[in-house]
Amino acid sequence: MKVVKFGGSNLKKSEDISKLVKVIKSYNKPLIIVVSALYGMTDTIISTIENVHRDFNSIDQLQQTLLTAHKAILSCYLIESNEIQKAFFELEKRVEEMKRFLLGIHYIGEAPDFVRDTVLSYGERLSAFTLYEILNQLGIDCKEATPEDMGLLTDGEFGNASVDFDKCSSQVASFFSDDLVYIVPGFYGISETGKVNLFGRGGSDYSAAAIARCVKAQSLDLWKDVKGFLSADPKIVPNAWNIKRMSYLEAAELSYFGAEIIHPRAFEPLKPDNIPLNLFNIDGDLDDIKPLTVISSTGVKTSFIVKSCSYTDDIGILKLKGPGVGVKPGILADVTNAMKLEGINIKSVLTSQTIISFLLSSNDLYKAYQLLQNLDVHGVNEVEIQDKISLIAIVGEGLNDTHGIAAKLFNAISRKGINAKVVSMGISDVASYFIVDSDQRNEAIKSIHEEFFYEKHR
């Protein structure tokens, strides 16, 4: 059995569904299809949740947006008018269910975690239903299969849950026992007490990987609108090329460091059984389907060692200064505990005798700054932040045990007069990163690409 996932970028226009149908028909049954919400819908739902306590009309607006988008697709593919009516009726029923939660937020004036996660799951619930109706109408033997139905249990964390495989793998596997096409709404699982828990933004990839692990799938096929993993962002390096094979580790590091192709945690579930992840492009040749990147546990060293260079601007540095912060016990514990309570995720920590630097997501930077200004940490005299910076990572098997990589990297940037503010090497086996001012980011990436792949360009 294979698990196939279609993302929001595959669900932009009504016409996109014909491509999906063509792809789905190319697979054998039984098949599990996981879908994201229609393109942009999760963002729209988030902004409604943020406004609904003061703006009652936003409930109505969201209802209309969701109904219009899904009905437009259904009307393109359902032919019989009674089928259309039945589908519209069911769609309206589900949107009405979602509305109850939004009314709750409006009246109580805030969105408790479980309500927020539930409302956001409707993007996927509606897209899965829509695809189900269409496939059914086309005579494909299919069934909607929600995380509730299959018992996809989580660790109970709202907003960023993980699947509890010990508790649910076997029940999920036995759920998919018929020779059918199953259509699963991605993005969420269910806590032991029956609450909806999201897997984080882009979490449908993780849903699909988790189900692939439970059923020990032959492969996980992710359909996207990009040309696989590339050696760099083609907007910066136009002649960047496709990477055909990668290890989970390499792909996870690239995803963590900004390549927004796959959810960074989607690789974890695949590792134990070495389930290959195939990345396909929905805009490619659908008569001759081939994966653009195949990701598995097998790491291959290339002659360049470095395979790809990625970046993220979603990064900031928070510095705690004070004489001896590097040798006083307990400072990190105090600070990280306080950050945990505020839901601030620490991406990396670097310490010296007089400074502790935290790398944080830009969204968390000011929150953390304020928190620490008010939290009188013993030994810390000054809190400072740096923003408008970018993190650039190079990734490749063999990075750590090949001499000369660091020299090449710093040659490439110093040749352009670019200064690396923070550097981390040797922590990950397959990735190194450094930080530069954002306005030097593109120049640095171009120069690195040239330096490492010079021969390939000749």
The binding site for ligand ASP (CB under 6 A) comprises: 7-8, 36-37, 42, 123, 186-187, 201-205
Minimum Å gap between C-beta 5 and Mg ion is 9
Contact indicator for 117, 45 with CB cutoff of 8 Å: no
Binds 37: which of ligand ASP, Mg ion, none (CB < 5-8 Å by kind): ligand ASP
- Residue 36 interacts with Mg ion (CB under 5 A)? yes
Give the chain's radius of gyration (CA, Å).
Answer: 24
- Give the footprint of Mg ion on residues 194-253 (CB under 5 A): 202
Partners of 154 in the beta sheet?
Answer: 163
Given 2, 4, 5, 7, the residue binding Mg ion (CB under 5 A): 7
Binds 201: which of Mg ion, ligand ASP, none (CB < 5-8 Å by kind): ligand ASP
Minimum Å gap between C-beta 120 and ligand ASP is 8
CA atoms of 408 and 387, how far apart (whole Å): 27
Buried b (16+ CB within 10 A) or exposed e, 13-23: eeebbebbbeb
CA atoms of 394 and 253, how far apart (whole Å): 9
Rounded to an integer, what is the distance from CA 324 to the centroid of its chain? Answer: 39
- Which contiguous run of DSSP H or E holds residue 67? helix 57-77
Binds 255: which of Mg ion, ligand ASP, none (CB < 5-8 Å by kind): none
Q: State which residue, 120 or 383, has the beta carbon closest to ligand ASP.
A: 120
Binds 187: which of Mg ion, ligand ASP, none (CB < 5-8 Å by kind): ligand ASP
- Give the footprint of Mg ion on residues 42-101 (CB under 5 A): none
CA atoms of 239 and 449, how far apart (whole Å): 10
Given 2, 3, 8, 399, the residue binding Mg ion (CB under 5 A): 8
Minimum Å gap between C-beta 328 and Mg ion is 44
Rounded to an integer, what is the distance from CA 284 to the centroid of its chain? Answer: 22
Minimum Å gap between C-beta 292 and ligand ASP is 19
Minimum Å gap between C-beta 204 and ligand ASP is 3
Minimum Å gap between C-beta 255 and Mg ion is 13
Report the helix count and the strand count for the chain, using DSSP H and E: 14, 18
Site track 165-204 with Mg ion (rule: CB under 5 A), x = hit: -------------------------------------x--
280: left (phi over 0), alpha (psi -120 to 50) or beta: beta
Query: Cis link prior to 323 (omega < 30° from 0)?
Result: no
